[in-house]
Amino acid sequence: MARPTDADSAKTLETIQGAAMDILQTDGPEGLSFRKVAKAAGVGLGTVRYYFATQEELLEACLDGFQDRLVDLERQWVAVLADADDIDEALRQAMRATCLLVWANQPLLRLRMMDSVQKGGLNPRRRRNQRDPFFRNVAGVLAEHAGRSADDLRLVIDTVMRLVSWYGAIDDDEACNVADLADVGAARERLMEHCVQTALQLLRAR
């Protein structure tokens, strides 16, 4: 396909990716279309198709964008934990920030989880570039405070992140049911606190 006149590489690609992620957040995967993305990004339909030949490629770009947010989250974890005088409070802050970020991106989270289930695990590239470094770096920092091996703590982080992901993926009715509360905000808060307490208990376990 010939290069469209409004395609200027990285900047245009970033704009299209951002528009696709915004649409996915509001309309879900079923509402994502090339025409919608082109209109939201302010580019021609041909430009979107120049970068993404299929719907699957467009969804993959959304997952890559979500991964970038998780990489930023990793940096926050390491910075907060590395400078902590009170490791429990630092872990509490990191866990709450994680829940808020992941839960605010529910459609992207669900897409990532469905993709992982269909493929039997996280995309190898994302596992190599995001999850493995995240677990390794955070476990290394926590090991200094917890007096445990980084290998043990990698499993702790994996367990906690799966809990955060599961609670983040459920809808409001299910969140209220699990938390046994009628108010959605209170239910989400209880689930968040449960994630925090689980992380603290697993960190102290021997």
What is the domain partition of the chain in residue ranges?
A: 1-53, 66-204
> Rg of the Cα trace of the chain?
19
Amino acid letter for position 152:
D
- What does the pLDDT read at residue 204? 82
Give residue 180's region: left, alpha or beta (phi > 0; psi -120 to 50).
left
The domain 1-53 having CATH identifier 1.10.10.60: the answer here is: yes
How far, rounded to the nearest angstrom, does the alpha carbon of residue 53 sit from its chain's CA centroid?
25
Write the pLDDT tens digit of every residue in 159-176.
999 999 999 999 999 999
**DSSP string covering 32-98:** --HHHHHHHHTS-HHHHHHH-SSHHHHHHHHHHHHHHHHHHHHHHHHHHHHT-SSHHHHHHHHHHHH
Mean pLDDT for the stretch of residues 115-133: 88
Task: Count the Cβ atoms, other than its own, within 10 Å of residue 136.
Answer: 15
Q: Is the pLDDT of residue 7 over 60?
A: no
In angstroms, the CA 126 to CA 100 distance is 21
Q: Is the pLDDT of residue 63 over 70?
A: yes
- Close Cβ partners of 97 (under 8 Å, ≥ 6 residues apart): 73, 76
Residue 144: which pLDDT band, with cuts at 50, 70 and 90? Answer: confident
- What does the pLDDT read at residue 102? 92
- What does the pLDDT read at residue 6? 54
The domain 66-204 having CATH identifier 1.10.357: the answer here is: yes
Given a contact cutoff of 8 angstroms between Cβ atoms, the answer to whether 39 and 65 are in contact is no
Given a contact cutoff of 8 angstroms between Cβ atoms, the answer to whether 122 and 116 are in contact is yes
- Beta strands (DSSP E) in the chain are none
- What does the pLDDT read at residue 123? 86
Query: Percentage helix, strand, coil, to 5, in the chain?
Result: 80, 0, 20
* Domains 1-53 and 66-204 belong to one CATH topology: no
HSE-CB at 9 with a 13 A cutoff on CA atoms is: 1
- Close Cβ partners of 137 (under 8 Å, ≥ 6 residues apart): 74, 77, 78
Give residue 107's region: left, alpha or beta (phi > 0; psi -120 to 50).
alpha
In angstroms, the CA 193 to CA 89 distance is 13
